[in-house]
Amino acid sequence: MNERTLKFRIEEKSGAHEREIEVRDAVIAGWTGRDAVALEKHIAELEALGVQRPASTPIYYRVAASRLSFAPFIEVVGGESSGEVEFVLVKAGGRLYVGVGSDHTDRQVETYGVTVSKQMCEKPIASVLWEWDDVAPHWDRLVLRSYLLENGELCLYQEGAVSSMRSPDDLATRYRGGTSLPDGTVMFCGTLAAIGGIRPSRRFHFEIEDPVLGRAISHRYDVISLPVAG
């Protein structure tokens, strides 16, 4: 079975603790925007790179659970991959948690096979999760951001509220056909348009901010490009 165990730090209003979670299914939900105009902008961004339009929106891609990574770096082939910040849902023991990750994708491969491109790169994820019940009352206030390293400095690459994407309940029920996520599922839930266009970087920083409770989850990783030998 495609399964791995990850140790997360669970941050709740009442305190924090560590929990090992067995991940059986890793899912990348794509084209999840609520705003049709913003969704079309992101589709157009990828079309400009040669990526075909999706057959449906949203759409769900499966990837190996072994691709999930807390590591401070990933290794990719060539220089045509890039990250994108996404909020992440994790279901374990009947409870739903919220985190943040990067759907790092090989853009060259994406032009001829989106499903294949999702499997080409590791999926960095922060090791901290929040209880869904703690953020549900003010969910639309949460903000996603990402930064690229350019000219030796981090610059803002993506920024926007999670409200620009479909709600966690909506995404979960659409994936399962009317039921909640099963235990052991990690789902990446869609991204924002890139400021200045999609492009690679040797360092990627991403975060989710909760301005109501005054906290954030963040992670960053370096991208090591392996040579293309032919």
Tokens of 224: 């090591």
**211 and 141 in contact (C-beta within 8 Å)?**
yes
CA distance 12 to 15: 5
What confidence score (pLDDT) does residue 2 get? 62
Neighbouring-strand partners of residue 90: 97, 186
In this structure, whether the domain defined by 4-226 belongs to CATH 1.10.10.10 is answered with: no
Parts of the chain with a pLDDT under 70: 1-2, 178
Q: List Cβ neighbours of 108 (8 Å cut-off, separation of 6 or more).
A: 78, 80
CB atoms near residue 216 (< 10 Å): 16
Sign of CA dihedral 164, 181, 11, 203: negative
What confidence score (pLDDT) does residue 102 get? 98
Residue type at 162 in one-letter notation: V
pTM, two decimal places? 0.93
